[in-house]
Amino acid sequence: MLIELLTKKYPGMRLWLTQRISAVMMVIYLMLMLIMLAIKQPHDYASWLDLMSPWWWRMLSLVFFASLFTHAWLGVRDVFKDYVFNLRLRAVLQVTVDILLIAYLCWVCIILWKL
Report if residue 105 sits inside a domain.
yes
Q: Is there a domain that residue 46 lies in? A: yes
How many separate domains does the chain show? Answer: 1
What mean pLDDT is predicted for residues 2-9? Answer: 69
- Residue 5 in any domain: the answer is no
Residue-range definition of the domain harbouring residue 31: 15-113
Inside any domain, residue 70 = yes
Residue 72: per-residue pLDDT = 97
Residue 37 sits at the vertex; the CA angle it makes with 34 and 40, to the nearest 5 degrees, is 150
Q: Is 45 annotated as a binding residue?
A: no
pLDDT in tens, 7-41: 777 778 889 999 999 999 999 999 999 999 999 99
Q: Is the pLDDT of residue 2 over 80?
A: no
- Return left, alpha or beta for 41; rule: phi > 0 is left, psi -120 to 50 is alpha, else beta: left
CATH number at residue 69: 1.20.1300.10
pLDDT in tens, 44-80: 999 999 999 999 999 999 999 999 999 999 999 999 9
Q: Is 67 exposed, middle or buried (0-12, 13-18, 19+ CB in 10 A)?
A: buried
In a domain, 32, yes or no: yes
Whether 4 maps to a domain, the answer reads no
Whole-number pLDDT of residue 62: 97
In a domain, 1, yes or no: no
Q: Is residue 50 part of a domain?
A: yes
- What was the pLDDT predicted at 69? 97
- Identify the band that residue 103 occupies on the pLDDT scale cut at 50, 70 and 90: very high
| pLDDT, position 6 | 67
pLDDT computed for residue 8 by the predictor: 73
Check whether 71 is labelled as a binding-site residue.
yes
How far apart (Å, rounded) are the C-alpha atoms in residues 71 and 20?
8
